[in-house]
Structure 1
């Protein structure tokens, strides 16, 4: 099917597929009617009682993203003969328009994939560096609170996403590059109704950006795109971004150089000069993604879990699992107090190492082999009291409501792609270059300003990154391409998915639907600390008896706050592909 025919057919289906949500656009004002934790979901004939829907199955490919239209784009690319990498790039480009509260071409990207020809998991680090002209002294002078602000030019590092897509496509792409940018450009040009969750996030993000005390150097551009009605759009209202459409078409025609060493780079340099920022065309031209060797740990039952090395927090998930495999998790029971207790304690231990060691490996030595060794996992596990919270305090906290999108795509040739892309916090820095239609990430706020920290700011350095794709093999064969977006929630969420599936036997969809926990209050690579054991937050679905038992163990138990991540996954069996999508987001999983 031709591109425009496909998109036209989707537009025709809009009132049925998505536009119907406009009938309920007033729901946000009727919160008391729907905020009823005492009411549970309806009953299902089979499967987990708490599951929202069934796993989707197919034989020739699968896709799961955080927006239905992006999933449809990925499926269309697969049907046209594109690889899983082609489909992931096209879907990610579309999400930059559809879900600007989480990602876009002003952000970074990381990827792990199963290369069926090489027979191994391959990793790509697509994170950008700080501007060469921005010194540590300047950053400290303009960070009066001792931490880099999360809004404005100081927080902007070079966006790596487009270069990462280009690098992936050069090795694994089958369709022409411009065909991968076209669906996103068409959507941005034609417009799309905004779904509930994204509308809510945009409302809060824009309120934070435009308030005077935010001190963002320039906000007119982002207001013109996302506040065309004098406010952000409500659920079901149509959003258009013709500037982004033009930018994507330039990238489609000119490749990565159009962005990094061409007309887009020129516009970006002029913009930062105008507002008093530091990024230059030379900074952009120097950006190149790196192929990296993923780390892994062998968990149990033949399952090996993979993560990307620092400057990503990928090894944090692996450390948690390396600790937990020393306990009989299955015996403890699903969402039991003892199970959650052990997982949260493993998190606290792993996050302490994350804060101490993780940084750009070009600037720091990181003992990853030691941190992921069985011996070290056993030593850390021995610190946990199965019936009582550890007294040692792990102060500080990571942003758990990060602005990130995760997607997974698998194809008929056996390739499985796990890709995550992000603005960092919400809509990023709040800065949008003139006429280009995308905002810059605020990943630079992930640096530390403390002397002696391996993650201390330096020009041309990559900041500590929270975004991590996930991947797992079973008996040496590709099994699970998955991720859980959400800042510091990501390794906690990934660990819960693995334990839910491996230890508790949940299916792909039910593993994500299962109610989650999240611990806040650990040391951070940014150098921000807070004393105490922190807070253990639990979703409403956790049984009251479990909450009471955790409190008796010494945990400070908190309630839900919608900061429990966003899960997407595809899975391979001997006969088929499965796909699952997050019920906490607006997404969709499909298979063919």
Structure 2
């Protein structure tokens, strides 16, 4: 496998699907900027990677405008409906993970497209959506990843969703033409009518009508009242770089906490890929997860104490608690992992790092009537325990795993990076950044090297540390000897997620690496 990234002096696009990357490149060739191209990539992913993301899901964005010289965040996540209350699930242990009663948060994706492109884009909104509309109406070769996802989660699809994603009652073959005419019609309506066509027009009406008939809870009022918002990103300093994440309800601050802890250790004396390397990263992340799980929810409903959590003195205390010879007994709850991360940099120095999701593969498993929109099940992560920090309440955002990242050097973007993977996102991001900054890896080397993911997965009672066998048996044995519950994983195992990186060196050269575990491409020139 080649370890040389794609390079370019002007632009770079990375995404988990080559057609989405090509959509971004097409928009750049038409004269669009990074913001236009990023929305084109996002919209194309909503069509060509429908098991991972779509119009019925959410998105988080980090943007850098060269003209403004600053990083901003856009929160494109939806809130629960005004009528969604815990008593609707009386007698149930948890919100269902699939079905119409799991689709309880308004999709924030379309709003985020309009906000990002409207704030900074050059082209007409309709032009930016053209590649996505074309792929939905004319079809595209179904990806191996979508085929695998359909095999894995096809049984969770409602009859209406199965009619779209399992045409003829069978999983479509990889490489076969996959067409979504209903979704194409919805995208055309969005392109012509803008965001209000989705939230205040016929699209919202059609989804609400379907919800009412199927026993769901979202209404037209919930859609009409939706709004994402621009926000200041959260950040920390790390070895001369400013590291940015989206603020809560995103879990991004957990990755910053881990970096603050790791800053107390000398990586010059730690060999990459060694027991010490993996053990230290896992232990730092476990400590950040412990605090994250106690505080993360919608900050409008309950403030998140970021000043304390991101304090360097607090990080020093946590670092001092790490044993380099023994794994700490810290637990976590399983979270969804099916996501799509992408990034774009243009010739003017504008940069966009963004991530989007339906939460589980195929989200709720429900397509809203004839809209072609697969609804997310993100709200199923709310707790029904009234004393839980992330308890379900009306008009509330849930604990959100989505977290795009950006590292800046001297006030300008140096690395845009992120990954699919729910609980794995802070873990893989930490792997990526330490490889880039401490071990001099290029973007493709960083995403291709062996990875781990710690924590519980759905249906499993144990806190496993899954490590790709490529890390070496000696390392796996040492981790197990320290008390980690090690489960060896296959080479380039999909459970490690799909990570992508754009690097920009001090001379402006762009380099891009996409994960060999997915169907992506880096395109630059």
Determine if the TM-score, normalized by the shorter chain, exceeds 0.5: yes
Q: Distance in 2 between matches of 1:453 and 1:480?
A: 36
Matched, 1:577 2:515: no
Compute the displacement of 1:569 (Å). Answer: 2.0
Q: How do 1:324-403 residues align onto structure 2 when only pairs under 5 Å count?
A: 324-390=262-328, 393-399=329-335, 402-403=337-338
Contact 1:394 1:521 in 2 (8 A): no
Contact 2:143 2:175 in 1 (8 A): yes
Q: Distance in 2 between matches of 1:552 and 1:228?
A: 49
Q: How do 1:17-416 residues align onto structure 2 when only pairs under 5 Å count?
A: 52-141=2-91, 144=92, 146-156=93-103, 157-207=105-155, 209-210=156-157, 219-300=158-239, 302-390=240-328, 393-399=329-335, 402-416=337-351
CA deviations 1:495-541 (Å, max 9, x no partner) are 0000111111111110000110111149x9xxx996x7x22110121
Contact 2:341 2:355 in 1 (8 A): yes
In the alignment, structure 1 segments of 5+ residues that lack a partner are 1-40, 42-51, 211-218
Contact 1:139 1:154 in 2 (8 A): no
Contact 1:397 1:529 in 2 (8 A): no
Contact 2:340 2:355 in 1 (8 A): yes
Secondary structure of 2:106's partner? coil
Q: Distance in 2 between matches of 1:500 and 1:545?
A: 21
Secondary structure of 1:132's partner? coil
Compute the displacement of 1:586 (Å). Answer: 0.6
Secondary structure of 2:300's partner? coil
Matched, 1:591 2:520: no
Q: Distance in 1 between matches of 2:414 and 2:302?
A: 33
Contact 1:127 1:159 in 2 (8 A): yes
Contact 1:395 1:529 in 2 (8 A): no
Contact 2:133 2:187 in 1 (8 A): yes
Compute the displacement of 1:396 (Å). Answer: 3.5
Q: Distance in 2 between matches of 1:456 and 1:180?
A: 38
Aligned length in residues: 520
Q: Distance in 2 between matches of 1:521 and 1:153?
A: 26
Cα distance change on mapping 1:537 and 1:529 into 2, 3 Å: closer
Secondary structure of 1:559's partner? strand
Compute the displacement of 1:136 (Å). Answer: 1.6
Compute the displacement of 1:549 (Å). Answer: 1.2
Contact 2:52 2:340 in 1 (8 A): yes
Q: Distance in 1 between matches of 2:97 and 2:25?
A: 36
Contact 2:443 2:500 in 1 (8 A): no
Compute the displacement of 1:575 (Å). Answer: 2.9
Compute the displacement of 1:84 (Å). Answer: 0.7
Q: 1:38 maps to which residue?
A: none
CA deviations 1:346-387 (Å, max 9, x no partner) are 111111111100000100011101101110110111110111
Cα distance change on mapping 1:140 and 1:505 into 2, 3 Å: farther
CA deviations 1:49-92 (Å, max 9, x no partner) are xxx44111112211001111111110010111111111111111
Matched, 1:541 2:479: no
Q: Distance in 2 between matches of 1:175 and 1:384?
A: 51
Secondary structure of 1:229's partner? helix
Matched, 1:552 2:485: no
Compute the displacement of 1:139 (Å). Answer: 2.8
Compute the displacement of 1:298 (Å). Answer: 1.1
Compute the displacement of 1:411 (Å). Answer: 0.8
Q: Distance in 1 between matches of 2:397 and 2:521?
A: 33
Secondary structure of 1:464's partner? coil
Q: Distance in 2 between matches of 1:577 and 1:249?
A: 34
Q: Distance in 1 between matches of 2:456 and 2:210?
A: 38
Compute the displacement of 1:335 (Å). Answer: 1.1
Q: Distance in 2 between matches of 1:372 and 1:382?
A: 16
Q: 1:441 maps to which residue?
A: 376
Q: Distance in 2 between matches of 1:314 and 1:395?
A: 19
* Larger-gyration structure (1/2): 1
